Amino acid sequence: MRKYALPGNERNLTMQLVYGVLRNRQYLDRILQLLSKTPLAKIDPFIHQALVVGLYQLFFLRRIPQSAAVHEMVECCKVGGIPRRLEGFVNGILRQSIRQKEPLATQAALGENGEPLVNHPEWLVAGWCKHFGHDEALRICAANNREPVLVLRANVAKIIRDDFRKVLEGAGIANHPGAYAVEAVVLPEYQGAIPAIPGYAEGLFQVQDEAAQMATGLLGPFRRGGRYLDGCAGLGGKTSHLLQFAASHALKIHAVEPEPYRLQKLRENLDRCGTACAPVIHAMSLQQFTLADLPPFDGILIDAPCSGTGVTGRHPDIRWNRRPEDLLRYQQEQLNILHHSAGLLAPGGILVYATCSLEPEENQEVIKAFLADHPALQLTDCTMQLPEAARRFIVDGCFAPRPDATIDGFFAARMQRR
């Protein structure tokens, strides 16, 4: 497959169109349903997508002229080799939507059953209603449907947060401190590429939501000279954060990542953000790593694979790609990872389990089942390891924020070997 690099402005618009359609999928389909005599299931998939992209531009983007939005979607059909009569169908539907825009906008806000559309699959909303209550479930959906702000973590091993903010201000980039994490910097208006942010090449920051920034601190208080493991390193956000603590506490950091693409990105991010305390990287699964004859660890961070329902605002495709049966599949994988990590933990050591999921099946139920099988570990309250502003997110001793304008949905449990 050939890859095409888009100029910055075109790339930003493309991302806005794709993410915008995903965040408003039900609403756009409802508009189309009201306009088209052809049932949605019978509309050609290419035509369907051209129509919802066009409708998104007409109903949500003010800077694109209506005539241009219609013209471009018809041109897309021509490029895609769509029959001429279907080009007319696309043109007719989009022009009709312009003529009926105000009544359509009101009518499409409600589904066929008269209930407000929340642009999330029914099974997911039903679960949130059950676990969090109806009003909170609707609030979560509304938060997910807003465009998220960009959050950075200042790499304080290289620059303090206030000085990094001055670097951004010098480049004309609006920013303010995060609401919870002490190293967080929020860029509320930035729409450009990440590498274009000043300090990227020098490793002055890492892109990381505030909730994820606070997960690493749950391993504290750090033992000076201690051994710490990032058991699911991924792209290296939390590993690079651990390296900041390593510099001041003489820590020895190990990171495990088996997947080749993520491993490459992990190395790149650590090279960019790294400090004098280089980690030991293990290109293998955690299950394979447990077979190595290594001394136990004083702290282990497990940022487990999960459904990702807490970050569906930032990654709106997640809500449409997940299925109810995925939750138990992830649960089994999470328990397996925790089981292997428990054998690596030193007496008195700290094990932090984290997900970016909102689902009890992947969070509270996993911890309950794990501790039942591992009585040598106990859940500890994480209050003192969190900044004061973030302590309102503690639920039954665990860190569990739900999606909001300034923070992603997250879960973290702090356990200690007796």
Domains of the chain, earliest start first: 8-117 (1.10.940.10), 150-207 (3.30.70.1170), 213-417 (3.40.50.150)
Taking alpha carbons only, the member of 94, 2, 111 closest to residue 47 is 94
List of long-range contacts for 154-157, beta carbons under 8 Å, 24+ apart = 154/183, 154/184, 154/185, 154/204, 154/205, 155/203, 155/204, 155/205, 155/206, 155/240, 155/244, 155/273, 156/183, 156/244, 157/243, 157/244, 157/247, 157/275
pTM (2 d.p.):
0.93
Distance CA 332, CA 145 (A): 30
Residue 151, helix vs strand vs coil? strand
How do 394-395 and 398-399 pair as beta strands? antiparallel
pLDDT in tens, 327-374: 999 999 999 999 999 999 999 999 999 999 999 999 999 999 999 999
| Side-chain half-sphere exposure of 355, counting CA atoms within 13 A | 26
Question: What pLDDT score was predicted for residue 115?
Answer: 87
Burial of 353-372, coded b for 16+ CB within 10 Å and e otherwise, reads: bbbbbbbbbbbbbbbeebbe
Query: 129 catalytic, yes or no?
Result: no
Question: What pLDDT score was predicted for residue 139?
Answer: 97
Q: What are phi and psi of 416, to 5 degrees?
A: -135, 140
Distance CA 102, CA 91 (A): 19
Question: What pLDDT score was predicted for residue 81?
Answer: 87
Low-confidence ranges of the chain (pLDDT < 50): 1-2
Selected catalytic residue, list 232, 277, 306, 356: 356
9 CB-contact burial (10 Å; exposed 0-12 / middle 13-18 / buried 19+)? exposed
Question: What pLDDT score was predicted for residue 5?
Answer: 62
Question: What pLDDT score was predicted for residue 391?
Answer: 97
